[in-house]
Chain A
Amino acid sequence: MKTKILVANRGEIAIRLIRAIQELNYEAVAIYESPDKDSRHIRIANEAIWLGNGPRCDYLNINKIIKAAKKSGAKAIHPGYGFLAENPDFAKACEENDIIFIGPSSTVITNLGNKVIARQIMADAGIPMVPGSDNLAQGEEGVQTALDFGEKYEYPIMLKATCGGGGRGIRLIENAEQMREEIPIARAEAKAAFNDDRVYLEKVVIEPKHVEVQVMADKEGTTIHLGTRDCSIQRRNQKLIEIAPSMIGDKKLLDTICATAVKAAKAANYFNAGTVEFLIDKNFNYYFMEINTRVQVEHTVTEMVTGIDIVRTQIKLALGKKLAFSQDDIKLRGHAIEMRINAEDPQADFMPEGGKTVTVYRSPGGYGVRLDGFVYQGFTIPEVYDSLLVKMTVHGFSWNETVDRLRRCLTNFVISGPKTTIPFYLNIAKDKDFIEGDFDTSYLDKHPDLFTYDDNANEASKLANLIAEIHHREHNPYAA
């Protein structure tokens, strides 16, 4: 019997995983909830197991998934991203049931998922982090520490409740005077909200670039990196466009960041594929943010510029193979850009367009374009999941060539039914700053004009509009 691997995910990433599994000549076992019954990952998998009516609860149900894996005889589980991918309990459940979890151990996931522990590990390893203080002492002593901190790192400074989270208990301090005023207020507030009045400080990195490093490690501890990615173009902390490698011109700096990432992974005893995220400020200081212990949505851009199949490597590593390549084998070639084509209306604050049926799906082809998607003509987008339809990744030898290809492919990509981010991306592909590689996390805020486009503005569709009207009215009402 062929080795079976269960794919504990849905959508485009399920298909991405199934492809790698089938290329390895293994069999892929899909799972699904009822709203996904028409999803393509079920059709292309070798087996598909229905978990329940969902939505979103069965894909998160560790017991059901472990049961499905056992029932199908799967040797390993790939969690993809999202859902249970970074849930240490899931990795642990796999370990306890003798199922290989394709990813790091539950201990590593636990450690890196806890910000305090993760920060401690990195601090011990000497990894640069956004400067922060310990918990401030009570009274004037704490205030004095805070003022010194402000002096040293310059304002603005973030004043945070130690037990806060999810954006609560954070205030932005612009100057020393405000610091003095706000500390007691913040304490009182923290006390009321979290029953804990401890507060600490963190430097604010203004308009940073978001740069991350793909790392891979085998069981023997050999750890290498696959270069950088720039994920600065985001809306409300959600990445929209990712680029490999980073456009920062200082190659030495990028080398340093990559070496730091490997060091960080080693410090965490990392195994399998992971991503070390950094913020880079205007003066090119870089700060560790976190390690993502899963395959990233944007892994495709790294695959395009390195030629390494990350998912295939993940599976092989999990099944006990050593890394088949060394750091010296990794050569970056050209540039890659990935755009997440979502069923969303950028002009309506990216309102999801779930529930709509894809009436037309025509994707671009030709040299240097890669598509990782799961929808098809006639497919109704479930309302209960995320709105990612397809990731379009273009690759080119030079940055200019890559942007040219991006523009061409976006122009030729037709999805009708739901509104999509395509016309918005097309504006980006034509934007001067983007073309010049000049963008950071403030890019969308600084380019409101990107949201101005008319989806039906081309001359042919205007004329066709009249033809449609003549057809509908059975005469031309504008010529009567």
Chain B
Amino acid sequence: MERIVQGTSPAEVIRQLQHTDGYHITNTARDLSQSDFKNRILLHTDLLAADARERAGYFSLEITGGASVHVDILRKQVDPFLKLEILRDKMPTTMFQTLCRGVNLFGYRPYPQNVIRFTVKEFAKYVDVWRTFDFMNYIPNMQAVFEEVGKAGKINEPCICFSTGPEHTDAYYLTKVQEILDVTGTDIILCIKNHGGLGTPGRIGQLVDAIRQKHPDLPIHYHGHNTDGNDVGRIVAAVQNGATIVDAADASFTGYYGPAPILTVIQTLKDLGYNAATVDEDAVIETSEVIRDERQHYEAFESQIKGFQPTVQIHKLPGGAMGSSLEQASKGGFLDKMPDILHKELPRVQKELGNYWSVTPGSQILWTTAVSNVQGGERYGNPSGDLRNLLLGKYGPFPFYDPEDWIFEKVLGTDWKKVLKEEGGVEDIEDMDISKEKETLTDRIGEEPTDQQLVLYLQHPNDAVEFFKFESKFGKVYVLPPSIFLHQGGFEPGETLQFTDHTGKEHIVEVGPSNVDEEGLTSVYLNVDHHQRVYDFEPDLPEGATAKAAVISKEEILDLAKAGDARATFAGNICEISVEEGQEVSAGDKIAVMEAMKMQTPICVEIDGIVTAISAKVGDSLQPGDKILKVDSDE
């Protein structure tokens, strides 16, 4: 078997896949990082693994896409394009794969068509295989991506999102496959995207078989998660029934919610007579050994709750959202309510909201709604803006059935029918004036941005600018190993840290003493390449309001709101303050928008009056009970 190499035309890749003896493996490093390490696996670690991964002979390495593009600039401080460029240099043969959320790209809300096309065009310079999905399985939402990938000469891998339940039949999925083929033509790979790791091996085998019967030449790529500990079973069933490519990840980093271990898949299928076509087992083993020691530095980002979650078959949360959901529950202090939320409320909400696919951004809507329903007292009493958009059909039509009228009424108000008629339907988002955006960005960073910088800015304006500023201040920090970049606690005095910068130059940093002067200014002394340097840090703001406010109970917050004192009802960031001091407001008016778990929720005022004191500002991170603003009733 010849290895499929990067640069091969889509038609030729499809032809080779059709003639595969055995099956191929995609190393889903991106999904491993997202599901089990909150997306924090650093380029440094991927570079350690690069040589062995390159030799391992995978069909592809999924190394970008999903939430990773955002986290790259937000938390890993690495340019997602540069990351691909550097990896490509180390891995010239292996195809790179991405996961794209269709119209939502790598974000959480639909983007204008011209932004989608511009983004895909820039990323397609590095990305060979485009796995594209839509959480409503609404094919038009993926059209622009399909077209741009085709134009770039790269491989389209459209997904059918998979879930379970009475509506999720083979027949249904076959119509979806046909809808895809109708727009893409046959030179594609079809992905069964099982982001929750749902269904039994039998169910997956059956679905793969059904598709194979209907489309014998269509290469099928099975993507699953090991949340219930049984994805190897589903992978085996998929291969036995004719799937050509399956997803798995490096064993030494596998956890509870991400992909299954590659070597386990290889060993199990070998025994059943299926060979991993071009895979070098020694290189697979070597990869795990090379990065094994790095895992300790990621401990802070591993799941709070250990162990597989076979109950995923009930709550259906996708692997990529498990870690962050548990983290939110832990930080929000409602871990004890998780059984209720996961096993009772979530399945109920799913059913009520049309039993669509629990994957980004739909999974966040389900989760936020379920949490709010359990925490807020009244079910659907505090709907998020995104739930509203879902009911308005902004993301696409409900696949099987519409939610019941009372939910529409709760979310959209008593005149919901009128609202639905006036505002409903898939939104035609106006094209953005990209050249104007470029001017704005030029102003903000003080120099003309590259196209790549512009793409990042169009995706996440504020976070991109913050990242560019970070880079000019701190340099190319992706060279720092996780033992430094993700270090917990201070370093030991006298500790020696070594790293190689992006030009290949070695540096030694010795940690010296820290002095605090009478004004609280801390001076950190470091010996950098034998030259002492001093870095000064202003004293932190005293811990005041935040810590105290956190002890206010839910009931108190609601009482305060009725008195015009609007507080944060959940932990999140302010993304909009909609009013100004002195402005007159009426009960029910939106005064601010908060964001948590990437879901935006409007905060509404409970009384008529005048805005007197705005305490929060855009970008503030608030805890429950923190002040947002006050309204004095104008009696």
Q: Does A476 contact B (CB under 8 A)?
A: yes
> In whole Å, how far is B379's beta carbon from the nearest beta carbon of chain A?
33
Query: With an 8 A cutoff between CB atoms, is A324 at the interface?
Result: no
Q: Is B154 an interface residue (CB 8 A)?
A: no
In the complex the two chains form, what is the Cα distance from A470 to B535 in whole Å? Answer: 12
Minimal beta-carbon separation of A229 from chain B (angstroms): 32
* Residues in B25-82 with C-beta less than 8 Å from chain A: 40, 75-77
The reply to whether B514 and A472 contact each other, CB–CB distance below 8 Å, is yes
Q: Which of A406-428 contact B (CB under 8 A)?
A: 414, 416
In-complex Cβ contact of A479 among B40, B491, B507 (8 A): B40
CA distance A467 to B487 in the complex (A): 9
**A351-407 CB contacts (< 8 Å) to partner B:** 359-360, 362
Question: If the complex has contacts A478-B75, A479-B77, A479-B485, are A466 and B532 also in contact, measured as CB distance less than 8 A?
Answer: no
Residues of A within 8 A of B535 (CB): 464-465, 468-469, 472
B502 touches A459 (CB 8 A): yes
Shortest Cβ distance from residue B546 to the other chain A in the assembled complex, whole angstroms = 15
- Contacting pair B486 A476 (CB below 8 A): yes
B487 A466 Cβ-Cβ under 8 A:
no
A471 — which chain B residues lie within 8 A by C-beta? 490-491, 511, 514, 524, 526
Closest B residue to A377 using CB positions: B532
B514 closest partner in A (C-beta): A472
A460 at interface, CB cutoff 8 A: yes
B460-482, CB under 8 A of A: which get 1 and which 0?
00000000001001111101100
A460 to B473, CA, bound (A): 11
- For residue A414, which residues in chain B have a CB less than 8 angstroms away from its CB? 531-532
| B522 and A476 contacting across the interface, CB-CB below 8 Å | no
Interchain nearest-CB distance for A456 vs B (Å): 7
Q: How far is the CB of A435 from chain B (nearest CB, A)?
A: 25
Contact yes or no, A467 B531, CB < 8 A? no
Tell me the minimal C-beta distance from B584 to chain A in angstroms. Answer: 39
A459 CA to B479 CA, complexed, in Å: 11
Q: Which residues on A sit within 8 Å (CB–CB) of B509?
A: 460, 463-464, 467
Distance in Å from the Cβ of A413 to the closest Cβ of chain B? 10
Task: Provide the bound-state CA to CA distance between A229 and B470, in Å.
Answer: 47
A285 interfacial by beta-carbon distance below 8 Å: no
Q: Which residue of B488, B497, B522 contacts A472 across the interface (Cβ within 8 Å)?
A: B522
Inter-subunit contact A479/B537 (CB<8 Å): no
Q: Identify B486's interface contact among A362, A416, A467, A479, CB under 8 A.
A: A479
Rounded to whole Å, the gap between the CB of B466 and the closest CB of chain A is: 9
Contacts A467-B526, A469-B537 hold; do A462 and B487 have CB atoms under 8 A apart?
Answer: no
Instruction: Identify the closest chain A residue to B536 (Cβ).
Output: A468
B421 contacts the other chain (CB 8 A): no
Complex Cα gap A479–B477 (Å): 11
B299 within 8 A of A: no
A461 at the interface (CB under 8 A from B): yes
Q: Is B334 an interface residue (CB 8 A)?
A: no
Asked whether A472 and B77 contact (CB < 8 A) given A460-B501, A463-B507, the answer is no
Partner of A362, one of B76, B480, B525, B531: B531
A389 to B254, CA, bound (A): 59
The answer to whether B488 and A474 touch across the interface, beta carbons within 8 angstroms, is: yes
Interface residue? A475 (CB, 8 A):
yes
- Number of residues of chain A lying within 8 A (CB) of chain B: 26
Q: Report if A480 contacts B (CB, 8 A).
A: yes
Q: What's the nearest-Cβ distance from chain A to residue B173, in Å? A: 40
- Taken together as a complex, chains A and B put the C-alpha atoms of A468 and B524 apart, in Å, by 6
Residue B528, interface by CB 8 Å: yes
CB-contact partner of A360 in B470, B477, B490, B531, under 8 A: B531
Distance to closest chain B CB from A183 (angstroms): 53
Instruction: Please state if A416 and B532 are interface contacts (CB–CB under 8 Å).
Output: yes
Tell me the nearest residue of chain A to B540, going by C-beta.
A473
| In the complex, per-residue mask of A54-73: 1 if CB is within 8 Å of any chain B CB, else 0 | 00000000000000000000
Question: Which residues in A have their C-beta under 8 angstroms from that of B491?
Answer: 467, 470-471
Q: Pick from A360, A462, A472: contact of B532, CB below 8 A.
A: A360
Chain A residues near B533: list those with CB within 8 A.
416, 456, 461, 464
User: A315-338: contact bitstring with B at CB < 8 Å (1 yes, 0 no)?
Assistant: 000000000000000000000000
Which of B474, B489, B502 is A466 in contact with, Cβ under 8 Å? Answer: B474
Residues of chain B within 8 A of A466, CB atoms compared: 474-475, 477, 480, 485
Is the beta-carbon distance between A472 and B524 smaller than 8 angstroms? yes
Cα distance A85–B500 when bound, in Å?
54
Decide if A359 touches B534 in the complex (CB within 8 Å): yes
Task: Judge whether A462 and B475 touch: CB under 8 Å.
Answer: yes
CA distance A407 to B633 in the complex (A): 71
For the complex, give the distance between the alpha carbons of A480 and B331 in Å.
13
One digit per residue, 1 when the CB lies within 8 angstroms of any chain A CB and 0 when it does not, for chain B 492-513 equals 0000010101110101010100
Q: Which residues on B sit within 8 Å (CB–CB) of A360?
A: 531-532
Q: Nearest A residue to B482 by beta-carbon distance? A: A479
B261 to chain A, nearest CB (A): 27
Residues of chain A lying within 8 A (CB to CB) of residue B525: 359
Contacts of A465 in B (CB 8 A): 473-474, 535
Contacts of A476 in B (CB 8 A): 485-487
Q: Is B530 an interface residue (CB 8 A)?
A: yes
**Min CB gap B442→A, angstroms:** 21
Most buried by A among B491, B528, B534: B528
**Interface residue B529 (Cβ < 8 Å from any Cβ of A):** yes
**Known contacts A471-B514, A479-B40: A463-B499 contact under CB 8 Å:** yes
Task: Give bound CA distance, A5 to B526, whole Å.
Answer: 44
| Chain B, residue nearest A479 (CB) | B75
Q: Report which of B470, B477, B528 forms a contact with A461, defined as CB distance below 8 A.
A: B528
Considering the chains assembled together, what is the distance between the CA atoms of A479 and B485 in angstroms?
8
Q: How far is the CB of B74 from chain A (nearest CB, A)?
A: 9
Q: Which residue of A lies closest to B511 (CB)?
A: A471
Q: Tell whether, in the assembled complex, residue A462 and residue B524 are in contact, meaning their CB atoms are under 8 Å apart.
A: no
B534 and A463 within 8 A (CB) = no
Looking at B470, B473, B531, which has the most chain A CB atoms within 10 Å of its CB? B531
Q: How far is the CA of A459 from the CA of B507 in the complex (A)?
A: 10
Q: Which residue of B lies closest to A464 (CB)?
A: B528
**Least distance between A476 CB and chain B CB atoms (Å):** 6
Closest to A416 in B: B532
Across-interface contacts of A362 in B (CB, < 8 A)? 530-531
Q: Bound state CA distance, A466 and B534, in angstroms?
A: 12
Question: Is B183's CB within 8 Å of the partner chain A?
Answer: no
The answer to whether B484 has its CB under 8 Å from any CB of chain A is: yes
Q: Are B487 and A470 in contact (CB-based, < 8 A)?
A: yes
Contacts of B514 in A (CB 8 A): 471-472
Q: With the chains together, A459 CA to B509 CA distance in Å?
A: 12
Please indicate the chain B residues that have their CB under 8 angstroms from the CB of A480 in the complex: 75
From residue B514, how far is it (CB to closest CB) to chain A in Å?
A: 7
**B488 / chain A contacts, CB cutoff of 8 Å:** 474-475
Residues of chain B within 8 A (CB-CB) of A472 are 490, 514, 522, 524, 535, 537
Chain A residues with CB under 8 Å of B526's CB are 464, 467-468, 471
User: With A463-B480, A463-B507, A467-B497 in contact, is A474–B532 under 8 Å at CB?
Assistant: no
Chain A minimum-CB-distance residue to B71: A479
* CB-based contact B474/A462 at 8 Å: yes
A336 CA to B511 CA, complexed, in Å = 39
Q: Contact at B529–A460, with CB atoms within 8 Å?
A: yes
Identity of the chain A residue whose Cβ is nearest the Cβ of B77 in the assembled complex: A478
Could you jot down 27 A-B contacts, CB within 8 Å? A359-B525, A359-B532, A359-B534, A360-B532, A416-B533, A459-B505, A463-B475, A463-B499, A463-B509, A464-B507, A464-B533, A465-B535, A466-B474, A466-B475, A467-B480, A467-B484, A468-B535, A468-B537, A471-B511, A471-B514, A472-B490, A472-B535, A474-B488, A475-B488, A478-B77, A479-B76, A480-B75
Q: A-contacting residues of B (Cβ < 8 Å)?
A: 40, 75-77, 470, 473-477, 479-480, 484-491, 497, 499, 501-503, 505, 507, 509, 511, 514, 522, 524-526, 528-535, 537
A359-B525, A471-B511, A471-B524 given. 5 additional CB < 8 A pairs? A456-B533, A460-B507, A463-B480, A465-B474, A467-B480
- Sort A-B residue pairs by CB-CB distance and give the 3 closest, nearest first: A462-B475, A468-B535, A360-B532
A residues with CB within 8 A of B: 359-360, 362, 414, 416, 456, 459-472, 474-476, 478-480
